[in-house]
Structure 1
């Protein structure tokens, strides 16, 4: 071997290089494997991270173990930095190249997307699919593809996970997930429905494609409801939940005086078409109706028929709910759409323990909280408020004053004219010259039975009109005997005036 001498010691050229460092007290010898000239630690331009760290370690005078730890620390820090900044870079890249629409099962739009997905060819050919009898958030069922009309509808949907399909010749992928499934309590919504989330994505920077998809899904869903009245109910958490939909009920099936129906419908249509008139005069764009009278006289049925005639959905608030508070009620009312019917049924029941001048109620809603929700600052514009009650005398004047209630309509027990009309609607196939409707009406005492009471009797003779006329005398006698004994139904005991409109429309 060749020995080289230098100022601080000597070196062997091969096969190992020995570096001898001297100080006043000791001599240390370090053994390095020979390196290529370009990678030598003594090179002016080290070529590897390890060589660089070795040079730094020499300069600092630290041992081999510390040098290895320093190497690991530097490498780990570099990897962590790459992951940290790489994540930001990937997220930035996704934002610039991918558009995503997010749908939550707690929102109505989720029902639109599920309905849209159920009609896509991909949902019928994918090998990973879920089967559902409901596509709506609150379990409301619409006619599906069942094999039997008596069976529940069946919907085929992509199963949770990622799915790829095309929309308008563009690649689209959907992710359906149920977050929080490890915690059952966290994965359930307030309506006891499983919480789900759907994300639909595509490449590009424009939102136009996904917006068109959403609009298409919305139109398809609304088209299914064109012949139906959709009912939303309030839950105890201050959110609206779609509960059911029913076929629109024609006003002709509501047996009340024709002039009442005509004037009410005309008044509501006039209100809905006069938004600018209200705005120009600084008048709150709201309308309030109070329907009061005998139980079973058709108050709620009329509200449903009115909603169908106007093409509006109904939002029902149960004021007797013990968990309902002023804040919850105010949030609910402010979250209603601008064009809808807000229905407060049996308004007297919510404050049946309240006397005039008192500010408490049988539940957690205060009277001032109710008034503020109806026409406070947060009250929605454009909505029609309908309140029903069996006992108008129990309502505070402040609740039904003009401005809050614009129209009052009384619904009483059946007149003979109404009994005649109900009979003809129950048996539409009777010959025109039949005298059965007149015979039936002549036997019905004025203002004794509610319309629901008469309908209940006729339901027992659905296909036998002559038998209904024959049996009605015994039915009336039984009712009168029961009334004398004090055992009749409350709705038959509470006599009322004939149905009439109280406020001149």
Structure 2
């Protein structure tokens, strides 16, 4: 019988410890049979090792749910051929209930005939379907304590135009990376290692890591992150991890200066040596075809051997925001809308925190800002109740005018992009208020009084009252949101929640 089965039946086997198991589960979850099977299992993940993938777990407000054929024998049709599938759940030999981890599963798919074409076509279709899940996303892998790459999350690809940085620098790095991945034969003909090194340095909050995520999305590559401060990481483990990276990927080492300063380990318990790091990224066994990306806030602390030409081919400095970058960031935060409704009385009221009298805002001291038809920005008096709601059509030119006034108030090379972004986050739907309070932000940002995300709305008299009441050594100020601000924040959260639920349904 075994001989006859081998002659007239084609069978493919899938093991849950292999990635191909995820392909077939993903394919089965979308097959019509899984929607009608009376014996089915419910799962929140279809990736091997219970690793979350696109649309699973933290990617949405509600965990993904998959209905799959239960363990046992099942029959269904594929391309007019009868297919039978047997799903078996096996506990590893010698394991106990207390010590065993996830049970090992096997799936066998069979059909009559001697040709493997139908089964191979099914497998190819399942593989392509699984890969297509991540076509519009960047997958991030991280080294685990056992020296293996573990898929941690996937996120939508970030467009490069959302990164605010020097345009020439952005273009140069992207074009260099594209040229590198298209030049494998050129490197081979000249006997050069097919590797490229990129070092991003600068003050914190200037967008170094964000740019790497956007670069990976632009190139269609995944990111493999190595944490050098891990206590379980040794030279041998690191070398094996780097060797196991795919031939086309971004290998990211963040804050490399925190692990090594002038060839000395910062922590004696760290299992990686400086020479081990050098051999891993540029040794004989180092993987080719990948781009090494390192970030640091202190370039001067790095040993020259680590950043010499050949290991680091491009050094890119990320500085603090210029006025042109501040303007670009403002326009990205508040793109022109066909119809934007501005409450001209609530603009003055929204900057009045519901705090004690000493922290209230004199609304008349800073009249609200509106945009006129000729794109000029003017100050108007408080409107009457009949003009409580005024509809303003904010065009591209008017947004440009607001952005120009915002940028004019921001001094060059003083604030990081993260600081400006934190300030604008407080005015998600009211760019006029952001422009109105930017000078106050510039005057106070960087101190303990304003974190950058708090909406600013107080005058000098309030400052004096708070300074007199606060302890000189430990100043802390808290601004509570008004009813208008709370309502705006609630609407924003509800809108994002609806978008999440809609994206889950589409997936």
Q: What residue number does 2:101 align with? A: 188
Secondary structure of residue in 1 paired with 2:150: strand
Given that 2:265 and 2:273 are in contact with CA atoms closer than 8 Å, whether structure 1 keeps it comes out as no
Q: What is the correspondence of 1:30-429 to structure 2 with a 5 Å cutoff?
A: 98-137=9-48, 138-143=50-55, 151-180=62-91, 183-184=96-97, 187-188=100-101, 195-351=104-260, 354-356=261-263, 362-429=269-336
Deviation at 1:134, TM superposition (A): 2.7
Aligned to 1:433: 397
Deviation at 1:347, TM superposition (A): 1.5
Equivalent residues of 2:54, 2:153 under 8 A apart? no
Distance 1:359 1:243 in 2: 27
Alpha carbons of 1:242 and 1:477: their partners in 2 closer, same or farther (altered >3 Å)? Answer: same
How far apart, CA to CA, are the structure 1 residues paired with 2:219 and 2:154? Answer: 15
C-alpha distance in 1, partners of 2:120/2:421? 49
Single out whichever of 471-480 and 107-116 deviates more from structure 2: 471-480
> Does 356-365 or 417-426 show the bigger shift?
356-365
Q: In the TM superposition, what whole-angstrom CA distance separates every residue of 1:210-231 from its partner, at most 9, and x where no partner exists? A: 3222211111112222111111
1:276 positional shift = 0.5
SS at match of 1:433: helix
Q: Give the secondary-structure state (helix, strand or coil) at the position aligned to 1:230.
A: strand
- Is 1:470 aligned with 2:436? yes
Figure out how many residues of one structure are paired with residues of the other and give that number. Answer: 390
Shift of 1:105: 3.2
Preserved CA contact (<8 Å) 1:179 1:187: no
- Name which of 403, 413, 429 aligns with 1:447: 413
1:338-381 CA-partner distances (Å, limit 9, x unpaired):
11111112222222xx4347798651112122112112222222
CA contact (8 A) 1:236 1:328 kept: no
Specify the SS of the correspondent of 1:402: coil
**Cα deviation digits, residues 142-163 of structure 1 (max 9, x gap):** 459xxxx853332211122332
Aligned equivalent of 2:426, options 460, 479, 485:
460
Given that residues 350 and 361 in structure 1 are in contact (C-alpha distance below 8 angstroms), is that contact kept between their aligned partners in structure 2? no
Cα distance between partner residues in 2 of 1:448 and 1:427: 22
User: Residue 123 of structure 1: CA displacement?
Assistant: 1.0
Alpha-carbon offset, residue 269 of structure 1: 0.8
